[in-house]
Amino acid sequence: GSVVAEHYRPRVSYYMREQAGNFHYGRQHPMKPHRLTLTNHLVLNYGLHKYMDVYEPRRATEEEIREFHAEDYIEFLKRVTPDNQKEFANCFSEFNIGDDCPIFDGMWDFCRIYSGASIEAARKLISGSADIAVNWMGGLHHAKKYEPSGFCYVNDIVLAILQLLRYYPRVLYVDIDIHHGDGVQEAFYTTDRVMTCSFHKYNGDFFPGTGAIDEMGSGLGKFYAVNVPLQDGIDDRSYTQLFKNVMTAVMETFKPGAIVLQCGADSLGLDRLGVFNLSIAAHGECVRFMRQFGVPMMVIGGGGYTIRNVARCWTYETGIVCGAELPDALPPTVYNDFFAPDYSLHPQLSGRVANHNTRAYLNALTARILEQLRYLKG
């Protein structure tokens, strides 16, 4: 089969640097940058580059990263390496270095690559020369001003939103990673110019432990943080219905000038760290739904630990933003073996975990969030 194109075709910019896929967090570590290489090969072999402007972005400069991160922390990130890390051992607890955020070869370079791409993507939207800008390397939503957290060292999302705020009065951040988007929420907790909206597993124990429904922002930012805490095993129908109900109200009340959509793929069924039950089709439906508002949009990556499915998901979503329908049979790539035995874009992912989100729970959740949003109108 071949790619079928839709009538509406937004101008899409795609950011990718091949080296990004060659970094290693460590053998036991679940974060595998190689998923970026897999994604890129599928995207190109489906021929999606014909629908997009493909850019090899430049690295973020230290000065650009300083717009959010503290100077001491940047200095540490720049200087520490696996070889000299003994000299820095006294800083490790200060800077939250450990199993989740190890020191690995080229760590600072990796940060500059994925952050540079998000910053460039934001500037591209501002310039008006793209409607949608895609950076699967980015989306590292846990990084804090003074420290790394949950596999994230530099918060490319905060840096990109700071760029967007130079031009757009209001920016909406939407996060469908299974983990709470805590770093982005914290950075904009007290402003009414950024609304953060995160859908995640929450039980007080699951990483990072934040994202309860009553975290709503403070000061001027009160009611501008939206949290949608979910239980294990949420399925396609419940998730997409909830997502559409919440996002319809968010778009009506907040009226953003730009959207940043974090597409963490650890909310898919069968994820190595995740416990949801979503199909690639349902995950992509969230992207399609946000796209149809026709508001300038950045689409970025995030988590995703069963890497064959991360690559499938982000490829499918690249197709969605382009308005290109992809045949289910994957095009052959040098990485074919990853996609055995079905070699298809939409394998069955659900069924491992039971859905612990009752209809009553989801209805109550929706009602509370719509009530929170009503405070914005007045």
Q: Which helix (H) or strand (E) holds 67?
A: none
151 binds ligand V1P (CB under 6 A): yes
CB of 171 to ligand V1P, least distance (A): 20
Partner that binds at residue 17, options Zn ion, ligand V1P, none, CB closer than 5 to 8 Å by kind: none
The residue among 102 and 331 lying less far from ligand V1P, judged by its C-beta, is 102
> Distances from the Cα of 261 to the Cαs of 12, 34, 136, 270, 273, in angstroms?
14, 22, 11, 22, 21
Whether 346 sits among the annotated catalytic residues: the reply is no
Of 34, 41, 141, 142, the catalytic one is: 142
Residue 259, burial from CB neighbour count under 10 angstroms (0-12, 13-18, 19+) = buried
- Say if CB 162 and CB 67 are below 8 A apart: yes
Q: Determine how many CB atoms are found less than 10 A away from the CB of residue 92.
A: 15
Partner that binds at residue 66, options Zn ion, ligand V1P, none, CB closer than 5 to 8 Å by kind: none
30 binds ligand V1P (CB under 6 A): yes
Beta bridge partners of 298: 133, 260
CB of 356 to ligand V1P, least distance (A): 18
The residue among 131 and 317 lying less far from ligand V1P, judged by its C-beta, is 317
CB of 160 to ligand V1P, least distance (A): 16
Triad 90, 91, 96: Cα angle to 5°:
125
> Distances from the Cα of 172 to the Cαs of 108, 252, 274, 351, in angstroms?
28, 12, 25, 33
Q: Which amino acid is at 152?
A: C
Q: Which stretch binds ligand V1P (CB under 6 A): 52-60, 128-136, 138-146, 184-192?
A: 138-146
Q: Which amino acid is at 125?
A: L
The residue among 35 and 179 lying less far from Zn ion, judged by its C-beta, is 179
Check residue 152 and report its DSSP letter: B
Interatomic CA distance for residues 120 and 237, integer angstroms: 35
Residues in binding contact with ligand V1P, number by CB under 6 A: 19
66 binds ligand V1P (CB under 6 A): no
Interatomic CA distance for residues 107 and 95, integer angstroms: 14
43: helix, coil or strand?
Answer: helix
- Of the residues 150, 211, 256, 331, which one makes contact with ligand V1P according to CB under 6 A: 150
- Of the residues 11, 24, 29, 244, which one makes contact with ligand V1P according to CB under 6 A: 29
152 binds ligand V1P (CB under 6 A): yes
- What's the distance, CA 253 to chain centroid? 23
Partner that binds at residue 274, options ligand V1P, Zn ion, none, CB closer than 5 to 8 Å by kind: none
The residue among 140 and 242 lying less far from ligand V1P, judged by its C-beta, is 140
Partner that binds at residue 151, options ligand V1P, Zn ion, none, CB closer than 5 to 8 Å by kind: ligand V1P
Cβ contacts of 203 within 8 Å, gap of 6 or more: 231
- Of the residues 32, 48, 100, 326, which one makes contact with ligand V1P according to CB under 6 A: 100
Triad 10, 14, 17: Cα angle to 5°:
175
264 binds ligand V1P (CB under 6 A): yes
Cβ contacts of 330 within 8 Å, gap of 6 or more: 42, 312, 336, 339, 343, 344, 345
* Residues 159-198: x where in contact with ligand V1P by CB under 6 A, - otherwise, as a string: ------------------x-x-------------------
Binding site for ligand V1P (CB under 6 A): 28-30, 99-100, 140-142, 150-152, 177, 179, 207, 264, 266, 273, 302-303
Query: Which residues are known to be catalytic?
Result: 142
